[in-house]
Amino acid sequence: MNPGMTQQSLNALQMIQMLSSSERRWVVEAALMGVDASTRDAITRSIQIRESGGSARSCPPPTYETARNVLLDEPALATSDKVILAAYAICDLYELKEFTGRQVTEFLKETSNEIGNVTAAMTALVQKGWADIASKEGESQQSQKRYTLTSTGIAKTRSLLQATREKRERSEARAMD
């Protein structure tokens, strides 16, 4: 399985590949009607380049998979970096605006990145301005909170992902030398 694909996208691709060519064409045309004109144009150009024997830039993997791979590959990340990557991946994967500490804990367990105190880490994200408390169930300090990522938090996550990508590219370049 391509590591950049979620199981859902892989299943959809396999289902499309099993269709007849006329059914496939109909599905692709119907799907393209749901995207904006610039995206359709970019897809068309990419197909034309590939058909002429060129190498078109493929779509980047979903953010969820990219963030998951960073968590798997970078064990020395700071706790707050692990938590913000997990939160960003959760929001991307499930198309959520809000997330909980419990969701972050589960995601970190899946990537073998368990941390000691998720509540303290979530509080640190809020203090750094990377997340806000969207809502709180109940009045006690231990009540379940829902968080949102701030624009600063999203920028921090993108910076982490970019830095990791650049580090990987440098390593690959050195390996080729």
pLDDT at 76 exceeding the cut of 80: no
How confident is residue 3, by pLDDT bands cut at 50, 70 and 90? very low
pLDDT at 128 exceeding the cut of 90: yes
* Beta-carbon contacts of residue 24 (< 8 Å; ≥ 6 apart): 16, 17
| pLDDT at 151 (0 to 100) | 93
Strand order across the beta sheet in which 145-149 lies: 99-100, 145-149, 131-136
Which tens digit of pLDDT belongs to each residue from 26-63? 877 887 787 777 777 777 777 777 677 665 545 555 56
User: Global pTM?
Assistant: 0.61
Higher pLDDT, residue 9 or 113: 113
How confident is residue 123, by pLDDT bands cut at 50, 70 and 90? very high
| 102/146 Cα distance (integer angstroms) | 10
Q: Which candidate, 55, 78, 74, places its Cα nearest to that of 66?
A: 74
Sign of CA pseudo-dihedral 30, 35, 41, 45: negative
Which residues does residue 136 pair with via DSSP β-bridges, in sequence order? Answer: 145
| pLDDT at 134 (0 to 100) | 92
| pLDDT at 6 (0 to 100) | 56
Question: Which of 1-15, 116-130, 134-148, 161-175 has the weakest average pLDDT?
Answer: 1-15
How confident is residue 148, by pLDDT bands cut at 50, 70 and 90? very high
| 168/69 Cα distance (integer angstroms) | 11
Q: Is 147 helix (H, G, I), strand (E, B) or coil?
A: strand
Please give the helix or strand (H or E) that residue 133 lies within, else none.
strand 131-136
* Beta-carbon contacts of residue 30 (< 8 Å; ≥ 6 apart): none
Angle, helices 7-17/21-32, rounded to nearest 10 degrees: 130
Q: Compute the residue count for the chain.
A: 177
How confident is residue 4, by pLDDT bands cut at 50, 70 and 90? very low
How confident is residue 153, by pLDDT bands cut at 50, 70 and 90? very high
Which structural domains are found in the chain, ordered by start?
Answer: 7-51 (no CATH), 63-176 (1.10.10.10)
